[in-house]
Amino acid sequence: MYTRMLIPLDGSKVAEQVLPYARFLAKGLAIPVDLLEVVDADALQLLADPERGRYIDIVLAEKMQSCRSYLNTIARSFDGSQVQCSVVSGKAEEIIIERAGGEANTLIVMATHGRSGIQRWLLGSVAEKVLNGANNHLLLIRASEQGKTDGDAALKTVVVALDGSPLAEKVLPHVVDLAKKVKLKVVFIRAYALPSTITAEEYGSHQTDLIDHLEWEARDYLEKKIREVKERGLVDVEPVVKFGYGAEEIIALGRDTPDNFIAMCTHGSSGIGRWLLGSVTQRVVQHSGDPVLIIRAA
């Protein structure tokens, strides 16, 4: 389970939309919070003017002091939580990955932005680089024009995407611990569909039987997983079986479920290697309007 939360901020309202979710989790998990702002000294060169005594070291010192004051103000909104504020000079994605990587059980909580509906969720460049490079679990919150920055979020349900694979099931221990600590309802979803490479004509009269068998198989699988997690102490768990393709059905269920976030497991290289998202995870991350907890399989 998580022992620390790292929250990168940049002074914008977009980044601050993580704060209601972070406050909820920090309180529920009783873990310390590390507020981090990274100052890019190279970018500040544009504000320097040596002819007028505005040397880069002066500009940098002023900016870092301003950031400390900003983070201290944010820290006071975490009632009852232990909060550390850090201002570091460097490249944001590199510092975030390094700071989180120093403790494996650190949860990174970040905001990103993008378009809604069928348009692509455009990850901010820093969030995308952290997503691709970090070893740690990452909770991505999509910012919106109406997004709130004050108060606590009211997360009540975690939607867990399962496809029958051992990889996807690696999300389960983390979800069980999280749901028990912060009292979440757990919804397992499994989508099923006939292979798109085979036409209806090729299935012929067997199509209905095949669909029925796939549905039975999906329900039987989820019931087994529910029994397993109930043996580990979960109480409020339910299955959802949908005819359709994985990402689309996961996103649709998230939209229909109030106060939820989606939990998924993915795979890939660690460290400086690229974190290779599976195709379903990639589409959910790009298109979902709900927070997405991405758990990287070891």
CA atoms of 88 and 104, how far apart (whole Å): 21
**pLDDT attached to residue 129:** 84
72-94 exposure pattern, b = at least 16 Cβ within 10 A, e = fewer: eebeebbeebebebebbeebbbb
Does residue 120 share a domain with residue 250?
Answer: no
pLDDT at 183 over 60: yes
**pLDDT attached to residue 98:** 94
**pLDDT attached to residue 159:** 98
DSSP state of 90: S
Mean pLDDT of 224-244: 96
Tens digits of per-residue pLDDT, 142-178? 888 778 999 999 999 999 999 999 989 999 999 999 9
Domain closes at, from 95, 130, 152: 152
Give residue 238's pLDDT band: very low, low, confident or very high (50, 70, 90).
very high
Q: Which domain holds residue 268?
A: 154-293
CATH number for the domain spanning 190: value is: 3.40.50.620
Does residue 211 share a domain with residue 167?
Answer: yes
CA atoms of 32 and 83, how far apart (whole Å): 6
CA atoms of 263 and 118, how far apart (whole Å): 21
* Residue 126 within a domain: yes
Tens digits of per-residue pLDDT, 111-146? 886 443 333 334 467 888 888 888 899 999 988 877
Domain closes at, from 118, 133, 152: 152
Q: Is 0.85 topped by the overall pTM?
A: yes
Does residue 2 share a domain with residue 142?
Answer: yes
**Contact criterion met (CB below 8 Å) for 34 and 99:** yes
**pLDDT attached to residue 105:** 94
Give residue 263's pLDDT band: very low, low, confident or very high (50, 70, 90).
very high
